[in-house]
Structure 1
């Protein structure tokens, strides 16, 4: 009886010591769903074991992170009586926590991370890392119970390397920061007018010619000043495989973007027969929307694009392939007799209809390879640009079902139009998510307050908002230093936009939690915006 009283008293004491933190105020980004603070602290030391369970990859990455940050070499063990961090898979939690959720319990003598999948285990370890407090050589974690899962399943960061090649080590560093922030999609913009950055073995000139330009416009959009420096670079397929694995180990899916039918001048410079004029051009040195586009009425061009996509599909495990489709100037198509004859023969009423018909053919090709197509919201045929005549956007064709529409420009009612027609949407509205914009245009607080679900959207469509992406466009970002300033700390804000429930967000608390990252970025010499 005395043992029973003691057990009950201990349980009551634990219950009384636990409380839900007001406003979920804990220094973790993104802010978790549920937090209870408990009594006591756990001391992390070199004697602390990591109990691996069925999560060897996640255990190894946790051990590596603790070694790098605190010079602690934690042993990996199958079991321990106390002083351990235990990783446990429990598939029955999937109904409650989904594929990415986790439970984290810190007690004075051990830490438990439990999830339905290893993705959840990994995210639990990322939260644990942010809870470690250091005083001298002593590392402690306050006792806490966390139950957490994401609001959205698509939490993306996009890097444009078509304009400026950044290289594998930079990409890996970005993936590390994404992983710590529980972002799960790396959207890799690999081709554009100014550069082709992915090796395609069947068409070697894409990188040999398209991966290099003679000079680059500097200053502003209308600048006549050029730097006079050759810029070049591309990824071999082996390098891409290495980056894909690096990302997958951190539970990040790499979604490649291969631009078509516009933003294609680097490819046309390599193979002039891809364009409407068949004239030899150089890889453009200035930015903007001025150039030739793929001649989608030519069966040889379609075969080329399918060949490229086949190599892309073979490389990338992602079930989603991005085809761009933004900012297509119709001037070249309108001026080409062959394109006009094709449109007439196929009863296409406008250049926008031609683009949708082309896009649907690509969608059908990808679907046959068990892949899903996504593209920027011009993909629906909407008039978004002043250089497009309204009559050129007369649309009778319907975009292929199953397409993911990445919204970036136009009236927000276009999102409603997309979801009401059954399409899923990734909300990347430029005025709120473009990382190349200045901090005066998109402050940290403005980025933090972005809600991927637009105000007024009918709740019956909320599930069709897959999530959000923040975009690091590269026209005026020539080096890693300037990129880092634009990305950090706003990346953390967008991570919380994608993960945390609106009711749990608090900008003041977020700023406090950022101190962990500021210390981390200072140590890593990542020059963030201050």
Structure 2
């Protein structure tokens, strides 16, 4: 594996003269007290691939892991020095040590990513000095498990892949019209009824065509605890999303009193659904109870409440909505949605959390503590940053990994506009029109994996990789990037994905079995 093939590209990479470090049965891994988690991870991952014991302890040729906040590295930053007498990873914090260990693994042959030794590799780390730190503190991936459920095993696998690419946020879209995916003990019908649908739309044709096959699944609370802990061990925060007040048909199917139109079934079709939550006190209490349980499961700072694509037609004809507008002194239904979001902003703030919502939460006035995920272009992010609110940038044209990867007819279920690997790589998270002070409100960026047309983990692999590799570099590495320089590094990096077993899209187009001829998409 060539020395230059690191992904994402580090801030500083200096090859050193002389031999590197050969790993053998005597190689030890020594860690200070705050780096023990990374040491355990390194022994498990690298030990499986090499067959080496990598026992704890000092000595010649040891890999040493150290946290040093005074090293001038910055949050999540690290320094890696390799020579014939050993390797030293110094991190600003435990996350920095972990990312340094990820880079150390990339310096080895791609077989370092296999689950058992092949018996043919020479395990030598090249002599090198690397200094590195992330450009952004929010480097995320949103995974929609509501439209198509992803089993826990595959979520854990995705977490490992995010960590490999130095991403640190997994945003889980847990509820939508087509499914409710997290156990809420107080309301068991949310998963018993809302956790499955009788069939799913195939493609994006109008009128819809359905597959006639039930689909469902959900995570128990213990599953969620496991996912969150597994991610935390890899310095990834899991941000849950419970979508309100739109995209709530699955919840209304389970508890019809939450809606405006009586009994419904869980959604089968994709797109924007007219059914929304009502704004009664009972509905607000119901969701406060839901969030009470959710906060026990997800200890991170941010909780996403969605707030996107909420049709207002049912509210316009609703006596409850009109009464609420009058009682709260609101002007219209846009302000009613803002009032709804503000209610949960206050709820989360009282509990030491922060509300995240899609940029529609700007309509009717932004809740005081809200952070905006800007998806409908960059305009929402610009408006929020100028108003002093934090922003996560994820505009459709650069961040939606459900979008087609080329204009070839071989692309499966072609959705949206073309979002190529080069497009993802070239995307700049900070809008040019922001001042330096406003730009500080851009926490970072994320890619969004909407799964209407991704009905298995294999399809998720195809749509996400290698575009996620390009995004990882855009979110981690310095702003100056060169796609021509990135591409040969990526080609080497694909050997690592091969070793892991990722069914990515080849750079020259889909394999025959990755196509879906005859299944229509949409522009």
TM-score by length of 2: 0.90
Q: 1:221 to 1:305 in 2, by over 3 A?
A: farther
Deviates more, 1:507-516 or 1:120-129: 507-516
In the TM superposition, residue 70 of structure 1 has moved relative to its aligned partner by 2.5
In the TM superposition, residue 99 of structure 1 has moved relative to its aligned partner by 2.3
* Aligned partner (choices 34, 37, 44) of residue 23 of structure 2: 44
Q: For the residues of structure 1 that align with 2:254 and 2:429, how far apart are their CA atoms?
A: 39
Task: Assess if the C-alpha contact under 8 Å between 1:90 and 1:115 holds in 2.
Answer: yes
- The yes-or-no answer on 1:466 pairing with 2:443 is yes
- The yes-or-no answer on 1:211 pairing with 2:195 is yes
Q: For the residues of structure 1 that align with 2:178 and 2:12, how far apart are their CA atoms?
A: 46
Deviates more, 1:128-137 or 1:352-361: 128-137
Q: Which residue of 1 aligns with 2:52?
A: 72
Q: Which residue of 2 aligns with 1:522?
A: 498
- The yes-or-no answer on 1:238 pairing with 2:217 is no
Q: For the residues of structure 2 that align with 1:312 and 1:305, how far apart are their CA atoms?
A: 10
* Aligned partner (choices 19, 26, 30) of residue 8 of structure 2: 30
- The yes-or-no answer on 1:292 pairing with 2:275 is yes
CA deviations on 1:393-412 (whole Å, 9 max, x unpaired) are xx4xx3222311000004x3
* Aligned partner (choices 402, 406, 410) of residue 373 of structure 2: 406
Q: For the residues of structure 2 that align with 1:209 and 1:517, how far apart are their CA atoms?
A: 43
In the TM superposition, residue 488 of structure 1 has moved relative to its aligned partner by 0.6
Task: Assess if the C-alpha contact under 8 Å between 1:107 and 1:143 holds in 2.
Answer: yes
In the TM superposition, residue 26 of structure 1 has moved relative to its aligned partner by 2.8
Deviates more, 1:62-71 or 1:479-488: 62-71
Q: For the residues of structure 1 that align with 2:375 and 2:449, how far apart are their CA atoms?
A: 13
* Aligned partner (choices 246, 268, 290) of residue 262 of structure 1: 246
- The yes-or-no answer on 1:87 pairing with 2:53 is no
Equivalence map 1:54-203=2 (5 Å): 54=33, 55-77=35-57, 79-80=58-59, 82-93=60-71, 96-133=72-109, 136-203=120-187
In the TM superposition, residue 109 of structure 1 has moved relative to its aligned partner by 1.5
Q: For the residues of structure 2 that align with 1:161 and 1:134, how far apart are their CA atoms?
A: 30
In the TM superposition, residue 221 of structure 1 has moved relative to its aligned partner by 4.9
In the TM superposition, residue 344 of structure 1 has moved relative to its aligned partner by 1.7
- The yes-or-no answer on 1:352 pairing with 2:296 is no
Secondary structure at the counterpart of residue 17 of structure 2? strand
* Aligned partner (choices 245, 248, 253) of residue 237 of structure 2: 253
Q: Which residue of 1 aligns with 2:509?
A: none
In the TM superposition, residue 366 of structure 1 has moved relative to its aligned partner by 0.4
Task: Assess if the C-alpha contact under 8 Å between 1:106 and 1:142 holds in 2.
Answer: yes
Q: For the residues of structure 2 that align with 1:49 and 1:231, how far apart are their CA atoms?
A: 48
Q: Which residue of 2 aligns with 1:509?
A: 485
Task: Assess if the C-alpha contact under 8 Å between 2:144 and 2:451 holds in 1.
Answer: yes
Unaligned 5+ segments in structure 1 are: 1-24, 382-394
Q: For the residues of structure 2 that align with 1:161 and 1:51, how far apart are their CA atoms?
A: 39
Q: Which residue of 2 aligns with 1:271?
A: 255
Task: Assess if the C-alpha contact under 8 Å between 2:370 and 2:390 holds in 1.
Answer: yes
Equivalence map 1:370-385=2 (5 Å): 370-381=352-363
Q: Which residue of 1 aligns with 2:387?
A: 421
Task: Assess if the C-alpha contact under 8 Å between 2:382 and 2:431 holds in 1.
Answer: no
Q: Which residue of 1 aligns with 2:514?
A: none
Equivalence map 1:392-403=2 (5 Å): 395=364, 398-403=365-370
Secondary structure at the counterpart of residue 440 of structure 2? helix
In the TM superposition, residue 516 of structure 1 has moved relative to its aligned partner by 4.3
In the TM superposition, residue 142 of structure 1 has moved relative to its aligned partner by 1.5
Query: What is the RMSD of the two structures over their aligned residues, measured on CA atoms?
Result: 1.4
Q: For the residues of structure 1 that align with 2:432 and 2:205, how far apart are their CA atoms?
A: 33
- The yes-or-no answer on 1:228 pairing with 2:228 is no
- The yes-or-no answer on 1:449 pairing with 2:426 is yes
- The yes-or-no answer on 1:481 pairing with 2:458 is yes
Q: For the residues of structure 2 that align with 1:186 and 1:85, how far apart are their CA atoms?
A: 29
In the TM superposition, residue 513 of structure 1 has moved relative to its aligned partner by 2.3
Unaligned 5+ segments in structure 2 are: 112-119, 407-417, 507-523
Matched pairs, number: 483
Q: For the residues of structure 1 that align with 2:302 and 2:81, how far apart are their CA atoms?
A: 35
Secondary structure at the counterpart of residue 126 of structure 2? strand
Secondary structure at the counterpart of residue 373 of structure 2? strand
- The higher radius of gyration belongs to 1
* Aligned partner (choices 302, 324, 348) of residue 284 of structure 2: 302
Task: Assess if the C-alpha contact under 8 Å between 1:27 and 1:509 holds in 2.
Answer: no
Q: For the residues of structure 1 that align with 2:285 and 2:26, how far apart are their CA atoms?
A: 60
